[in-house]
Structure 1
Amino acid sequence: MRILEYKKQLIISVFALIFSGITYGQTNVKTSQTDGKVNISQDERVEKLVAYKAKINKTDDEKRFRIQIYNGTLEGAQKAKETFNKEFSGIDSDIAFETPNYKVRVGKFRTRLEADRYLIEVKKEYPSAFLLQP
């Protein structure tokens, strides 16, 4: 019995040494190849288009139509924003302070038509909502 245990331990030890040598040996293999490089070839108009889009979005942000849904205290503004975010997910909303009131404004619409369409939906829940022009 004792010899059988020693044989099992010897076999397991040999396999462990062989496999550890193989796994460690993979890191020490010296090859003549250099590090890989990735070349991306794309039309130069793509870069111009991305730069143009970034420029438009950066400068055009203040010229967008907004919808104001609340005007009053800070607590009321936070509550209105929270309920709006629950009812209308996917539309930006923020709280602006203009002395002495807090105002909740939603959306950033590029065109008046888009803003009017969304205003109709918002007025069902917030009857006092109105459109702000840039």
Structure 2
Amino acid sequence: MRLLARRTSIFITIIAFSFCGVISAQESVKPQHPEGKVTIDQDPRIEKLIAYKSELNKSNNDKRFRIQIYNGTLEGAEKAEREFTKKFDDISCNISFETPNYKVRVGKFRNRLEADRYLMKVRQEYPSAFLLQP
């Protein structure tokens, strides 16, 4: 029985050493083409579409729907902003000043449907939140 165990261990050792030689031999192979080139064939109208979309996003930024969650003092506005960013980290939040109050407004939604959907989520935490269209 001992002889069989030795034969098996010797056989496994020989196989392991033979694979080590094969593995180290693969490192010395140099690639035939050191640089790769990618060519993209696309419709030229795609570039126009991307330029139009980026222009549209820049121009309509001030005419978007917003949600107001707070109206009052600066300390209260800062507190409301901190709490909102902890609870809803996926959307922007900022403080604006309109005499004599500070207002915390969130989001910049393109259409009323997006704004209403998000308003439903916000109203669970801030019941007095309402929708604005500047």
- One-letter amino acid of the structure 1 residue matched with residue 125 of structure 2: E
Match status 1:126 vs 2:126: yes
Match status 1:99 vs 2:76: no
Match for residue 88 of structure 1?
88
* TM-score, structure 2 normalization: 0.67
Which secondary structure does the structure 1 equivalent of 2:102 belong to?
Answer: strand
| 1:105 positional shift | 0.3
CA separation in 2, counterparts of 1:118 and 1:62? Answer: 19
| 1:121 positional shift | 1.1
Unpaired segments of 5 or more residues in structure 1? Answer: 1-36
Match for residue 64 of structure 1?
64
CA separation in 1, counterparts of 2:84 and 2:101? Answer: 19
Instruction: Supply the RMSD in Å over aligned alpha carbons.
Output: 1.9
Unpaired segments of 5 or more residues in structure 2? Answer: 1-36
* TM-score, structure 1 normalization: 0.67
CA separation in 1, counterparts of 2:91 and 2:99? Answer: 25
**CA-to-partner distance for each residue in 1:87-121, whole Å, 9 max, x for gaps?**
01111111111111110000111111211111111
**CA-to-partner distance for each residue in 1:47-70, whole Å, 9 max, x for gaps?**
111110111101111111100000
Match for residue 27 of structure 2?
none
Match for residue 112 of structure 2?
112
| 1:39 positional shift | 6.7
CA separation in 1, counterparts of 2:113 and 2:51? Answer: 27
Q: Identity, % of aligned pairs?
A: 70
Q: Where in structure 2 are the equivalents of 1:21-100 lying within 5 Å?
A: 42-100=42-100
CA separation in 2, counterparts of 1:39 and 1:115? Answer: 41
Which secondary structure does the structure 1 equivalent of 2:104 belong to?
Answer: strand
Which secondary structure does the structure 1 equivalent of 2:94 belong to?
Answer: strand
